[in-house]
Structure 1
Amino acid sequence: MADPQTPPRSRREFLAALAASPFVTLGAGVFPSPLRAEAAAAGLIGANACILTPESTAGPYYIDPGLIRRDITEDRAGVAMQLRLQVVTADCQPVEGARVDVWHCDAAGNYSGFARQGSDRRVSTKDRTFLRGTQFTEGGGVAVFDTIYPGWYRGRTTHVHYRVFLEETTVLTGQIFFPDALSAYLFQSVPPYNDRTAQRDTVNASDGIARQAGETAYAAIREQPGFYDAALVVGIAPEARPQGARFGGMRPPAG
């Protein structure tokens, strides 16, 4: 039982304690109820935190189609997923008006907008824009995307890419990872994921980018009626100001 004389932790103290929590090392959004409750009380959408460095791996498939939209699914079949990213400062203060781009592969391992897709490199999606989009964070620092659970391709574990812009500069490029157990279940048992004859060759523990990103890059997953809710808190280090891609004239919609 907590000492009634002990003052509540500040947001910064909570973030530091959370980053050092042994539950963080479990990955995959595995956190006890008290920690989740304290995260909610601190205004966080998930009991994970990540103070991110200016440099991170973007991967080869980023394009900016200029699509400000919440639903990025288009015609892609798969298990529905709501992806929520909360952009916060180092002391957990929400960042309003940040631009968040996301992109990921479909159930067959294909990205839109490129030739030579999939593990067999035989699919071209050069004229497509599925599973890509931009949102701007609202008052709580949250950007929401309606999408599908990502598939896999040879050499990589299951992941979603994201890029956060503040003001006119790319602040952060990162990747979100998912529980191996959930991925294995979907890929083996649920169409269209289980339509593939090949078996994935990379899991979280054997993916070098996932290991480098750390356990706090794992989404917290909750099963909801008809979809999975995936949430990640993206903490931005104050010095994270690398040069790179820019807003390209995009701004939050009026109102």
Structure 2
Amino acid sequence: MTDTQETDSTGQLTRRKVVAVGAGTVAAVGLGAAGAVNAFAQEKSAESEAEACYKLTSETVEGPYYIDADKIRRDVTEDKEGIPLLLDIKVIDSETCRPIRNAAVDIWHCDAVGVYSGYEDMGNGGGGGPAPTGTPTDAPTGTPTGTPTGIPTGPPPGGHQEPTDDTRYLRGTWRTDKHGQVTFRTVFPGWYRGRCVHIHTKVHVDGEWTDAGYEGGHTCHTGQFFFDEESVLASAELEPYASNTAERTTLDEDTIYDGGGVTGGLLRLKYRKDGVGKGVRASITVGVDPEETNDGS
């Protein structure tokens, strides 16, 4: 957190806190003679964490591959191969700073070679036919080799496309706890032509949890989560990602990511640089307006 100064309408200098939404802040714990210093750091840390919620997370398009919640689960992996990924999401009210409990959070994303469940006939990113696999002629370097054409990056007229099959891997919905948190177990996504590596999400509120799932309410947030280039390039060296021969769009070149960092959906990642294949933990705080309807259309 940093402090900046700006002038109000009366010409007087006022102070404005500039904060970035992250996955949360860890307070420092002081011992011995360092207690006073660390107590101050602890206080500032708590202040920063409390104020972080004032940033709304960017809304994005739903995309053509959404399927309404029919898999109430936290582990969405099924039998898909890939780098294990734990995705921690905290949902907060951007006005009150309070966590939103009992919200329904959807996630969905493609597999390591760019294929979405429910739309396998669309192939890799809607290119038609099966996803390209095998020995790539050129390993992904982060630079596209041509201009993507005909790739669906937003919903078709009237909303998402109807599913073409009954597969549902890498999709799921779960409720937030009293802290506004939910964790999904999945795999690190792959890529397809025209888009950077990403995960889709929706947050539904004011509905009811029943034995059948989540009913009613409205969608207050439709967004996407993004991965930094370093992590994507690290994943691309491992199978099955190395078998994905599709041209890859970088984070900076993506037409959906707004460059806003965590407020734009950029995930905070933790993993061993010398062992990314052992797993990645991703986290983000999503600031929403529960009174709004943002269905991505």
Task: State the Cα distance separating 1:48 from its structure 2 match.
Answer: 8.8
Distance 1:49 1:62, change over 3 A: farther
Please list, as runs of the form range in 1=range in 2, the aligned pairs for 1:67-86 lying within 5 A after superposition: 67-86=71-90
After superposition, the C-alpha distances for 1:8-60 in whole angstroms (9 at most, x for unaligned) are: xxxxxxx96213x9xx8xxxx9x9998xx88974696xx8974036x531111
Please list, as runs of the form range in 1=range in 2, the aligned pairs for 1:189-200 lying within 5 A after superposition: 189-196=237-244, 198=245, 200=247
TM-score, normalisation: structure 2: 0.64
SS at match of 2:122: coil
Q: Distance in 2 between matches of 1:39 and 1:88?
A: 20
Q: Distance in 2 between matches of 1:70 and 1:40?
A: 30
TM-score, normalisation: structure 1: 0.74
Kindly indicate whether the alpha-carbon contact (under 8 Å) linking 1:81 and 1:229 is maintained by their aligned counterparts in 2.
Answer: yes
Kindly indicate whether the alpha-carbon contact (under 8 Å) linking 1:84 and 1:142 is maintained by their aligned counterparts in 2.
Answer: yes
Q: Distance in 2 between matches of 1:194 and 1:146?
A: 22
Q: Distance in 2 between matches of 1:42 and 1:206?
A: 35
Kindly indicate whether the alpha-carbon contact (under 8 Å) linking 2:227 and 2:266 is maintained by their aligned counterparts in 1.
Answer: yes
Please list, as runs of the form range in 1=range in 2, the aligned pairs for 1:45-194 lying within 5 A after superposition: 50-52=55-57, 56-90=60-94, 91-114=96-119, 115-119=121-125, 120-123=127-130, 126-167=165-206, 168-187=217-236, 189-194=237-242
Q: How well do the aligned residues superpose, as a CA RMSD in angstroms?
A: 3.4
Kindly indicate whether the alpha-carbon contact (under 8 Å) linking 2:191 and 2:246 is maintained by their aligned counterparts in 1.
Answer: no
Q: Distance in 2 between matches of 1:61 and 1:79?
A: 22
Kindly indicate whether the alpha-carbon contact (under 8 Å) linking 1:86 and 1:232 is maintained by their aligned counterparts in 2.
Answer: yes
Matching residue of 2:293: 241
Kindly indicate whether the alpha-carbon contact (under 8 Å) linking 2:53 and 2:92 is maintained by their aligned counterparts in 1.
Answer: no
After superposition, the C-alpha distances for 1:51-78 in whole angstroms (9 at most, x for unaligned) are: 036x531111000251111110011100
Query: Number of residue pairs matched?
Result: 217
Q: Distance in 1 between matches of 2:175 and 2:44?
A: 22
Q: Distance in 1 between matches of 2:253 and 2:65?
A: 21
Q: Distance in 1 between matches of 2:189 and 2:43?
A: 30
Task: State the Cα distance separating 1:223 from its structure 2 match.
Answer: 1.5
Q: Which runs of 5+ in 2 are unaligned?
A: 1-15, 29-41, 132-163, 207-216
Identity %: 34
- More off after superposition, 109-118 vs 151-160: 109-118
Distance 1:87 1:199, change over 3 A: same
Distance 1:178 1:75, change over 3 A: same
Task: State the Cα distance separating 1:82 from its structure 2 match.
Answer: 0.2
**Larger-Rg structure:** 2
